[in-house]
Amino acid sequence: MEYDFDLFVIGAGSGGVRASRMSASYGARVGIAEDMFLGGTCVNVGCVPKKLFVYGSHFSEEFSNAASYGWSVGDVPFDWSTMRDNKNREIERLNAIYGGLLSDAGVTLFNDRASLLDAHTIAVGEEEVTSKNILIATGSWPVVPDVKGKEHIITSNEAFYLEDFPKKVTVVGGGYIAVEFAGIFNGFGAETTLVYRGDMFLRGFDKSLREFVKQELEKSGIDLKFNTQVKEIRSTDDKDTNCRYQVSLENGGILNADLVMYATGRKPKTDNLGLENLGIEQGANGKIVVNEFYQTSVENIFAIGDVTDRMQLTPVAIEEGMCIANNLFTDNPKKTLNYANIPTAVFCQPNLGTVGLREDEACELYPGDLDIFESEFRPMKHTLTGKEERTFMKLVVQRSSDLVLGVHMVGPDAGELIQGMAVALIAGATKSQFDATVGIHPTAAEEFVTMRSISRTA
pLDDT score of 239 more than 90: no
Distance of CA 187 to the CA centre of its chain: 19
| Interval 56-67 mean pLDDT | 95
| Interval 102-128 mean pLDDT | 97
What whole-number percentage of the chain has pLDDT above 70?
100
Domain residue spans of the chain:
5-141+267-329, 150-264, 344-457
> pLDDT for 321-349, tens place per residue?
999 999 999 999 999 999 999 999 999 99
- Radius of gyration for the chain, computed over Cα atoms and rounded to the nearest angstrom: 24
Burial of 315 (0-12, 13-18, 19+ CB in 10 A): middle
List, by residue number, the catalytic residues.
441
The CA-based angle 230-232-238, given to 5 degrees, is 115
The predicted pLDDT at position 74 comes to: 86
What whole-number percentage of the chain has pLDDT above 90?
97
Number of alpha carbons in the 13 Å side-chain half-sphere of residue 81: 2
Asked whether this chain's domains 5-141+267-329 and 344-457 adopt the same fold, the reply is no
The predicted pLDDT at position 206 comes to: 98
Question: Collapsing DSSP states into helix, strand and coil, what is residue 454?
Answer: coil
From first CA to last CA, the distance across the chain in angstroms is 61
The dotted CATH code for 344-457 is 3.30.390.30
pLDDT score of 373 more than 90: yes
Q: Report the distance separating Cα 20 and Cα 12, nearest Å.
A: 9
Question: Collapsing DSSP states into helix, strand and coil, what is residue 133?
Answer: strand
Paired with 374 in beta bridges are 394
Of the candidate CATH numbers 3.40.50.300, 3.50.50.60, 3.40.190.10, 3.30.1340.10, the domain formed by 5-141+267-329 belongs to 3.50.50.60
Secondary structure element (H or E) that encloses residue 364, with its range: helix 359-365
Where does the pLDDT of residue 242 fall: very low under 50, low under 70, confident under 90, or very high at 90 and above? confident
The predicted pLDDT at position 91 comes to: 97
Where does the pLDDT of residue 64 fall: very low under 50, low under 70, confident under 90, or very high at 90 and above? very high
Burial of 387 (0-12, 13-18, 19+ CB in 10 A): middle
pLDDT score of 402 more than 80: yes
Average pLDDT, whole number, for the chain? Answer: 97
H-state helical runs in 160-233: 176-187, 207-219
> pLDDT for 16-56, tens place per residue?
999 999 999 999 999 999 999 999 999 999 999 999 999 99
Identity of residue 26: Y
The predicted pLDDT at position 75 comes to: 87
The superfamily in CATH containing domain 150-264 is FAD/NAD(P)-binding domain (3.50.50.60)
pLDDT score of 167 more than 80: yes
Task: Give the lowest-confidence range in 233-242, 295-304, 342-351, 421-430.
Answer: 233-242
pLDDT score of 431 more than 90: yes
Where does the pLDDT of residue 1 fall: very low under 50, low under 70, confident under 90, or very high at 90 and above? confident
- Kindly report the pTM of this predicted structure: 0.96
